Structure 1
Amino acid sequence: MKDLQDVSATPVQALVRPHPLRRLLSGVWQALERARTRRLLAQIEQRDLADLGLSHADRLNELEKPFWR
């Protein structure tokens, strides 16, 4: 247990605000990634949803969200 690293501390880099263009591109990338994962979620069968611990209502709730959220 002595070899474990404390990850609860906020790194110094997280306090520095990135360049506005980088923030914009990061936001676009995240929106595209959400859209991609929701498309994959729409293709999952009911049996596989149960394996993931998701209900049909959970899936519909996630699929109704816009890509930017």
Structure 2
Amino acid sequence: MSAVTCTNTPIAKRAFSPLAWLVHAWEVHRERRALANLDANQLKDIGLTADAAYREASRPVWDIPAQLD
């Protein structure tokens, strides 16, 4: 008898954790702050324009991408 694996079942979501969200938001905030401090050559190295970096760095703290565990 062979085992059958169902691949179209939804992935179980974890319960919302305010602490986990806060930690994630702080990490994103630090990354955006670092992005704002890059010079033109560094932005070119990572493939971003100054305008794109400014838009990302100026997003509000609550506007963060979902965690993809």
Using structure 2 for the length normalisation, give the TM-score: 0.69
Q: 1:15 aligns with which of 12, 36, 42?
A: 12
Does the C-alpha gap of structure 1 residues 67 and 15 become closer, same or farther in structure 2, counting only changes over 3 Å?
Answer: same
Does the C-alpha gap of structure 1 residues 58 and 17 become closer, same or farther in structure 2, counting only changes over 3 Å?
Answer: same
Q: Please state which structure has a larger fraction of its residues in helix.
A: 1
Structure 1 unaligned segments of length 5 or more: list them.
1-8
Q: How does 1:25-36 map to 2 (within 5 A)?
A: 25-36=19-30
> Offset of 1:17 from its aligned partner?
2.9
Quote the residue 2:53 is aligned against. Answer: 59
The alignment-based identity, stated in percent, is 29
What is the distance in 2 between the residues matched to 1:61 and 1:16?
A: 30
Poorly superposed stretches of 4+, deviation over 3 Å: none
Q: How does 1:34-45 map to 2 (within 5 A)?
A: 34-45=28-39
Give RMSD over aligned pairs.
2.1
> Offset of 1:16 from its aligned partner?
4.7
Does the C-alpha gap of structure 1 residues 43 and 15 become closer, same or farther in structure 2, counting only changes over 3 Å?
Answer: same
The total of aligned residue pairs comes to: 57
